[in-house]
Amino acid sequence: MTIADELQSTIVQMVQPGKGILAADESLPTIARRFAPIHTESTGENRRAYRTLLFTAPGIEDYISGVIEFEETLAQTTDEGTPLSEALARRGIVPGIKVDRGKGPLALSPGDFITYGLDGLAERLQQYKTRGTRFAKWREVYAISKHSPTAHGISASAEMLARYAAICQAHGIVPIVEPEVLMDGDHSLARCAEITETVQKEIFYALHRHHVVLEHMILKPNMVLPGSAHTVKVRAEEIAAVTLRVLKRTVPAAVPGINFLSGGLSPEDATANLNAMNTNFPHVPWQLSFSYGRALQQPVLQAWSGKPENVALAQQALLKRARLNGAAQRGKYLPSMESSD
């Protein structure tokens, strides 16, 4: 099998109607923050138990096509001793891996960020692949203020995403390209649209320069949203309309899938926004789906609370959110489904 065949096989398995991606790639500081409200210590065993709960939840393979893992997870096993990545693959769920090393300030460019991790990436991908990993994810972030992100910051981050994606494809790994325009701030919907459009145009220009095959990648963008401190409430239909306007201007039709991040939205709002996009724009060239972390996991954590006796209840919570987002991917979600068992 050629590398191109490998990449295409992974894309076909990941981009399926009614299915999306579970982001379970929380770094150690992030998962500690997730565990704190449920009074659970972030130990290696607790993290293993929680990820086992997620990856073995009955029925999620009907709605989840891929899972983004954190590097630690590759060495973890189920209670029966099966590697967690293998447990996913046995159910037809594609294992993936977060490969960036986190963000920091871009030197001499106040307000801009850059993500680390290109050094040694090719060697790491080879190791991950031997453990069953078939796709990767890299995130660049853009904070909105009066003066940022700057043109320089946007260009630098696009270059990082493109170099990462090219390295992935050279090793038969499908890259998820994740540019996240952050919700933090009081900016308007229009300001977010302006920045998101500029960011995505620059990214696809960089991907073209680096010979990245668009048919063998997935885009994981933010939805176009007003800042979390903005005072005007925006309906899901308006978010869908503005988001799709930006995507039509920036994303080539060759890209097979756009899997949105939830970026701090509530589980219900993330599902409603995705549904509005698929209901109101059914004929776009890409599959519009989800790659949610907190918006899938928040009810799970609350149900689990770190207690073994709550595992089945927590797995039911995950299945419900996965099922509702699967319905949203098809444009068939209704708010009344939230109150159903």
Catalytic residues, by residue number, are 220
- 266 secondary structure, DSSP code: -
Q: How close are the terminal C-alpha atoms of the chain, in Å?
A: 44
In Å, how far are 90, 113, 158 from 119, measured between CA atoms?
32, 18, 17
3-state secondary structure of 42: coil
- 57 secondary structure, DSSP code: -
In Å, how far are 67, 161, 256, 265, 303 from 297, measured between CA atoms?
13, 26, 26, 12, 10
**Calpha distance 262→18 (Å, rounded):** 17
Q: β-strand 113-115 against 135-142: which pairing, if any?
A: unpaired
Closest CA to 182 of 218, 135, 137, 149: 149
**Calpha distance 195→17 (Å, rounded):** 30
Copy the structure tokens of residue 289: 């789906």
Provide the CB-side half-sphere exposure for 290 (13 A, CA). 38
Q: What angle (nearest 5°) sits at the alpha carbon of residue 100, between those of residues 124 and 203? A: 115
Closest CA to 269 of 320, 314, 223: 223
Any idea which residue has 């207690």 for tokens?
307
What phi and psi, each to the nearest 5 degrees, are found at residue 227?
Answer: -60, 155
Cα 148 versus chain centre, distance: 24
